[in-house]
A = this chain, B = another copy of it.
Amino acid sequence: MIDFSFQNPTRIHFGRNALEQLPKEVERYGKRVLLVYGGGSIKRTGVYDAVMQKLGNVNAQVWELAGVQPNPRLSPVREGIEVCRREQIQLVLAVGGGSAIDTAKAIVNGACYEGDVWELYEGKGTNETALPLGVVLTIPAAGSEMSRSSVITREEDLCKRGRNAFTNFPTFSILNPEYSFTLPPYQTACGIVDIMAHMMERYFTMVENVELTDRLIEGALVTVINNAPIVMAKPDDYDARAEITWAGALAHNTLLDTGRVGDWASHKLEHELSALYDIAHGAGLAVMFPAWMKYVLPRGGARKLAQFARRVFAVGEAFATDEEAANEGILRLEAFYRSLGLPTTLGEMGIDGSRIPEMAARAVAMMGGRLGGFVPLDAPMAEEVYRLAL
Cα distance A83–B3 in the bound complex, in angstroms: 35
A9 in contact with B6 (CB, 8 Å): no
Cα distance A208–B219 in the bound complex, in angstroms: 17
Chain A 201-243 near chain B by CB (<8 Å), digits 1 or 0? 0000000110110011011101100110000000000010011
Cα distance A120–B348 in the bound complex, in angstroms: 63
**Which residues from chain B contact A8 at a C-beta distance below 8 Å?**
8
- The stretch among A15-23, A34-42, A157-165, A375-383 that forms the contact with chain B is A15-23
A2 part of interface (Cβ distance < 8 Å): yes
A side interface size, CB within 8 A: 41
Chain copies in complex: 2
Q: Which one of A211, A242, A255, A258 has the highest number of Cβ atoms from chain B below 10 Å of its Cβ?
A: A211
**Which residues from chain B contact A68 at a C-beta distance below 8 Å?**
none
Cα distance A331–B112 in the bound complex, in angstroms: 59
Q: Which of A151-188 contact B (CB under 8 A)?
A: none
**Which residues from chain B contact A239 at a C-beta distance below 8 Å?**
1, 208-209
Cα distance A11–B9 in the bound complex, in angstroms: 9
A246 in contact with B3 (CB, 8 Å): no
Q: A212 contacts which of B2, B218, B219, B255 (Cβ < 8 Å)?
A: B219
Cα distance A258–B223 in the bound complex, in angstroms: 15
B14 in contact with A259 (CB, 8 Å): yes
**Which residues from chain B contact A226 at a C-beta distance below 8 Å?**
211
A246 in contact with B14 (CB, 8 Å): no
A5 part of interface (Cβ distance < 8 Å): yes
A258 in contact with B212 (CB, 8 Å): no
A343 to chain B, nearest CB (A): 28
Q: A259 contacts which of B1, B7, B219, B242 (Cβ < 8 Å)?
A: B242
A243 in contact with B212 (CB, 8 Å): yes
Q: A212-B220, A242-B209, A246-B1 are in contact. Are A258 and B14 (CB under 8 A)?
A: yes
B1 in contact with A6 (CB, 8 Å): no
Chain B residue nearest in CB terms to A12:
B6
Cα distance A216–B256 in the bound complex, in angstroms: 11
Cα distance A18–B258 in the bound complex, in angstroms: 13
Q: List 29 A-B contacts (CB under 8 A).
A: A1-B239, A1-B243, A2-B15, A3-B14, A3-B16, A4-B14, A5-B12, A5-B21, A7-B10, A7-B11, A7-B12, A8-B8, A14-B258, A14-B259, A15-B259, A209-B239, A209-B242, A211-B223, A211-B243, A212-B223, A212-B243, A212-B246, A212-B250, A215-B219, A216-B219, A218-B219, A219-B219, A246-B258, A250-B255
Task: Beyond A209-B239, A242-B259, list 12 extra A-B contacts (CB 8 Å).
Answer: A1-B243, A3-B14, A3-B16, A3-B17, A5-B21, A6-B12, A7-B11, A15-B259, A211-B243, A215-B220, A216-B216, A216-B219
